[in-house]
């Protein structure tokens, strides 16, 4: 007969093994459940709580968060919609029945629609804007450029037309006018005397080019831009908005930004501060630029082939009048009736081959045939000098200089952009239905 005590020990040992296995299974199940719950919870937490703090770009170690990016996209969408609706209103004022397909209004409306419908285009535009804003802030700090509390508050007030000390009246910037004084060489060359004109003379000849393009630095679009300080001050007049009115307008604006974009008052003020820093940095970068520029006064004859150009050059060298030949054979209809006269122009106004030749010639000198996308040119320079710029052209020159500076600054900086932004571009707000999109 088996030993009962021995059987009980084996049974107990078996039960212990079973209990241990059961415990392991239960612990493993709990661990798996905890892991699953943790992963799901982290995913939910990441998408709702942690996502806004993740990084979409870095500029010299200064990060741009998802929250900032998404807020700016929403504001950019609002501004795009506002531009769209503004042009719709313009079209209605002119009685246009189909603004989207109208030759005048359609291109702008279609451009805004494409921007709103393309998350890639909108997202890239905002990324570039935020990167440039970081660069501007960093460069301003290096140069000890800052915005005081008083300057910021004044700019915020003026953005709502609140002027505690009265509304200033800006002055008018005078435009320099140059009368046509010709030296003996020019008198001998020119058969048609130019009339007085503003400087520089705008040329609409087909040889003009849009290169180099004047591209503004992308600016932050988180709200209305700060009102520029006037250049001249008259006697103060009663302010258009009271202090209480200003506070109400500011609260209404901030409440709307918080609701529609998530931007609070601190973010709104930071936008205006960045705008002021940009203006100050631009003033510092361009402080040595003078309102004068090297310009050339030239005329040309445009023909289709090099053989025709050679024939034109030969006729001129034989003593035939340049203006008469231009009127006879030039294909540039914008100036052939003026003897091919292009007026005064600065660098960047003409296509590269034409410009290079014109600026290298002496007064009175005739060029060899110059090939461009428009055909073959025979050029004669009538004047070459430093000339004053109109205020509009001067401001454009400063903007171009600043744009080039920021472009180089970005090239020289450590800029990292992460593909995360491509998956989180907001698609709201959207154009209202029934707007003709």
When divided into structural domains, the chain yields a total of: 2
How far, CA to CA in Å, does 347 sit from each of 119, 299, 355, 357? Answer: 37, 15, 7, 11
Q: Is residue 32 part of a domain?
A: yes
Q: What is the β-pairing status of strands 62-65 and 197-198? A: unpaired
Q: Is residue 158 part of a domain?
A: yes
For residues 49 and 67, state if they share a domain.
no
* pTM of model > 0.85: no
In the listed set 19, 35, 53, which residue is the last one of a domain according to the structure?
53
Helix, strand, or coil (residue 95): coil
| Residue 221, phi then psi, degrees to nearest 5 | -125, 50
So what's the pLDDT on residue 198? 37
Instruction: Check if the beta carbon of residue 205 is closer than 8 Å to that of residue 342.
Output: yes
Helix, strand, or coil (residue 277): helix
For residues 70 and 152, state if they share a domain.
yes
Helix, strand, or coil (residue 191): coil
Q: Is residue 309 part of a domain?
A: no
Q: Report residues of the chain scoring pLDDT below 70.
A: 1-15, 17-18, 36-49, 168-239, 436-437
So what's the pLDDT on residue 177? 47
For residues 260 and 158, state if they share a domain.
yes
| Residue 234, phi then psi, degrees to nearest 5 | -100, -175
Q: In which domain, by residue range, is 47 found?
A: 4-53
Distance from C-alpha of 280 to C-alpha of 246, rounded to nearest angstrom: 26
For residues 244 and 114, state if they share a domain.
yes
For residues 45 and 89, state if they share a domain.
no
Q: Is residue 156 part of a domain?
A: yes
So what's the pLDDT on residue 347? 87
So what's the pLDDT on residue 105? 94
For residues 17 and 159, state if they share a domain.
no
């Amino acid at each position: 007969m088996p030993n009962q005590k021995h059987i009980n020990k084996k049974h107990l040992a078996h039960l212990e093994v079973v209990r241990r296995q059961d415990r392991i299974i239960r612990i493993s199940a709990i661990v798996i459940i905890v892991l699953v719950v943790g992963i799901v919870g982290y995913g939910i937490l990441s998408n709702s709580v942690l996502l806004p703090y993740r990084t979409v770009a870095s500029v010299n170690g200064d990060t741009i968060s998802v929250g900032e990016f998404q807020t700016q996209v929403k504001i950019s969408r609002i501004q795009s919609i506002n531009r769209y609706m503004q042009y719709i209103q313009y079209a209605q004022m002119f009685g246009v029945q189909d603004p989207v397909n109208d030759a005048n209004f359609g291109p702008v409306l279609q451009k805004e629609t494409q921007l709103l419908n393309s998350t890639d285009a909108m997202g890239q535009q905002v990324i570039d804007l935020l990167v440039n804003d970081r660069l501007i802030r960093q460069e301003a700090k290096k140069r000890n450029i800052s915005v005081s509390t008083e300057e910021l508050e004044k700019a915020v007030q003026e953005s709502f037309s609140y002027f505690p000390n009265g509304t200033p009246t800006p002055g008018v910037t005078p435009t320099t006018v140059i009368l046509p004084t010709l030296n003996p060489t020019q008198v001998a060359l020119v058969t048609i005397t130019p009339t007085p004109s503003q400087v520089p003379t705008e040329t609409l000849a087909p040889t003009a080019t849009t290169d180099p393009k004047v591209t503004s630095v992308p600016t932050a679009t988180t709200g209305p831009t700060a009102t520029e300080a006037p250049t001249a001050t008259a006697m103060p007049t009663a302010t258009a908005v009271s202090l209480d009115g200003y506070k109400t307008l500011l609260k209404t604006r901030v409440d709307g930004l918080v609701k529609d974009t998530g931007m609070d008052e601190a973010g709104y003020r930071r936008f205006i501060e960045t705008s002021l820093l940009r203006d100050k940095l631009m003033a510092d970068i361009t402080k040595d630029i003078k309102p004068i520029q090297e310009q050339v006064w030239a005329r040309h004859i445009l023909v289709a082939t090099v053989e025709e150009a050679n024939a034109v050059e030969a006729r001129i060298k034989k003593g035939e009048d340049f203006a008469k030949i231009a009127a006879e054979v030039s294909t540039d209809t914008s100036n052939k009736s003026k003897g091919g006269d292009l007026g005064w122009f600065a660098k960047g106004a003409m296509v590269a081959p034409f410009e290079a030749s014109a600026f290298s010639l002496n007064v009175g000198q005739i060029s060899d045939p110059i090939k461009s996308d428009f055909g073959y040119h025979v050029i004669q320079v009538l004047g070459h000098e430093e000339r004053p710029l109109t205020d509009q052209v001067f401001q454009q020159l400063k903007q171009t200089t600043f744009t080039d500076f920021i472009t180089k600054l970005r090239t020289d900086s450590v800029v990292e952009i992460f593909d995360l932004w491509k998956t989180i571009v907001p698609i709201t707000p959207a154009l209202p239905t029934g707007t003709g999109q």
